[in-house]
């Protein structure tokens, strides 16, 4: 039996949820996800070994994906890369997010709708740029979308390595990073219980919280202190601080964060907390000054 493959950002069906899954399609998607994790490209043999696929089956999948533009293979090489259809899908995804409300499934989260994701990004991106300029660390903006935490935008910092596995549109487990924890902390407790029922507390990073009671206590601490910290819960040597962004009427509509190394955490964590919470307050002021709230 093939080993279970963990694909970053993939959400499977709930344990009690049934669905019809085509194994061929699932394998093709696993091929795409695997190559996405290796920008330098992979050979058919490497893909076959990694996914424990018969080499003949692997070639059939690869040829099909190449013909349809989802993979690319230079004529002089036997290496496969992501193809031109991938950015097309990404662009369509981003455009779809732009026209959807940030607080989808309001009856579950208890949040009030009002802004589209693209409006939030446009309004708050300057706040992120200032935060990155001040801290020299990457900054992030997330919100809820269809009951999942969606990473809306990233402002990269010069000469700072990117966090592996994070990208605009990321919708992976929320319990293992600061942005997800801060958005869960300010959600309705009944919604949080349902979320955790569907999203088990799996270990993602070295210090991921996997005990439910301990995680609930973590959410309470976040509300008490007004920010969340991720200490290698998502990835090795990746720390993160996040704070909620309140709308003028008091509901939380998004969260912002920065990420940094353990060395930086040890040297100036208190100063970084102050910068993140201050930026969240600036973001709240920006939303208060939005035309919709000017009388």
Give the pLDDT of residue 203. 94
Domains and CATH numbers, the chain: 23-83 (1.10.10.10), 92-293 (3.30.450.40)
Residue 19 confidence (pLDDT): 60
Q: What percent of the chain has pLDDT over 90?
A: 60
CB 240 within 8 A of CB 234: yes
Phi first, then psi, for residue 11 (nearest 5°) are -110, 115
Q: Which residues contact 192 (CB under 8 A, 6 or more apart)?
A: 184, 216, 219
Which stretch of 77-86, 221-230, 271-280, 286-295 has the lowest confidence by average pLDDT? Answer: 286-295
Please compute the mean of the pLDDT values over residues 49-56 and round it to a whole number. 92
From 127, 122, 120, 143, select the one nearest 276 (Cα to Cα): 127
- pLDDT tens string 2-46: 334 444 444 444 444 446 778 889 999 999 989 988 888 999 999
Range in 24-38, 103-117, 163-177, 207-221 with the lowest mean pLDDT? 103-117
Q: What pLDDT does 53 receive?
A: 92
pLDDT at 37: 84
Rg (CA), the chain: 20
pLDDT tens, position by position, 279-295: 999 999 998 887 654 33
Residue 103 has pLDDT above 60, yes or no: no
pLDDT at 62 over 80: yes
pLDDT digits (tens, 9 = 90+) for 234-279: 999 999 999 999 988 888 999 999 999 999 999 999 999 999 999 9
For 10, 14, 40, 230, the CA distances from 223, given in Å and listed in that order, are 28, 28, 42, 15
**Residue 182 contacts residue 244 (beta carbons within 8 Å):** yes
| pLDDT at site 291 | 63
Tell me the average pLDDT of the chain.
Answer: 85
Q: What pLDDT, on a 0 to 100 scale, did the predictor assign at position 100?
A: 56
Token pair recorded at residue 231: 């200490």
Beta strand pairing call for 71-72 and 79-82:
antiparallel
CA distance 205 to 133: 28
Torsion of CA 102, 106, 111, 115, to 10 degrees: 30
Q: What is the pLDDT of residues 148-163, one digit of tens each?
A: 999 999 999 988 888 8
Strand order in the sheet with 42-43: 42-43, 79-82, 71-72
What is the model's pLDDT at position 114?
A: 55
């Amino acid at each position: 039996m093939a080993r279970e493959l963990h694909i970053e950002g993939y959400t499977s069906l709930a344990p009690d949820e049934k669905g019809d899954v085509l194994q061929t399609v699932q394998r093709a998607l696993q091929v795409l996800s695997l190559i996405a994790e290796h920008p330098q490209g992979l050979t058919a043999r490497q893909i076959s070994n990694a996914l424990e696929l018969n080499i003949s089956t692997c070639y059939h999948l690869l040829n099909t994906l190449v013909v349809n533009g989802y993979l690319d293979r230079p004529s002089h090489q036997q290496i496969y890369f992501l193809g031109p259809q991938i950015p097309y899908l990404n662009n369509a995804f981003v455009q779809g997010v732009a026209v959807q409300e940030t607080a989808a499934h309001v009856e579950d989260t208890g949040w009030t709708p009002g802004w589209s994701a693209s409006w939030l990004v446009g309004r708050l991106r300057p706040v992120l740029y200032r935060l990155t300029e001040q801290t020299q660390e990457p900054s992030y903006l997330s919100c809820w979308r269809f009951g999942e935490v969606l990473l809306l935008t990233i402002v990269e910092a010069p000469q700072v390595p990117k966090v592996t596995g994070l990208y605009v549109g990321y919708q992976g487990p929320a319990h293992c990073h600061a942005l997800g924890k801060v958005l869960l902390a300010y959600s309705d407790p009944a919604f949080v219980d349902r979320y955790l029922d569907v999203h088990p507390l799996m270990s993602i990073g070295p210090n991921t919280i996997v005990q439910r009671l301990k995680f609930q206590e973590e959410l309470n601490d976040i509300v008490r202190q007004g920010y969340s910290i991720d200490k290698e819960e998502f990835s090795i040597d990746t720390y993160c601080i996040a704070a909620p962004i309140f709308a003028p009427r008091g509901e939380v509509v998004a969260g912002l964060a920065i990420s940094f190394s353990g060395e930086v955490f040890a040297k100036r964590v208190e100063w970084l907390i102050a910068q993140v919470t201050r930026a969240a307050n600036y973001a709240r002021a920006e939303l208060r000054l939005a035309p919709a709230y000017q009388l």
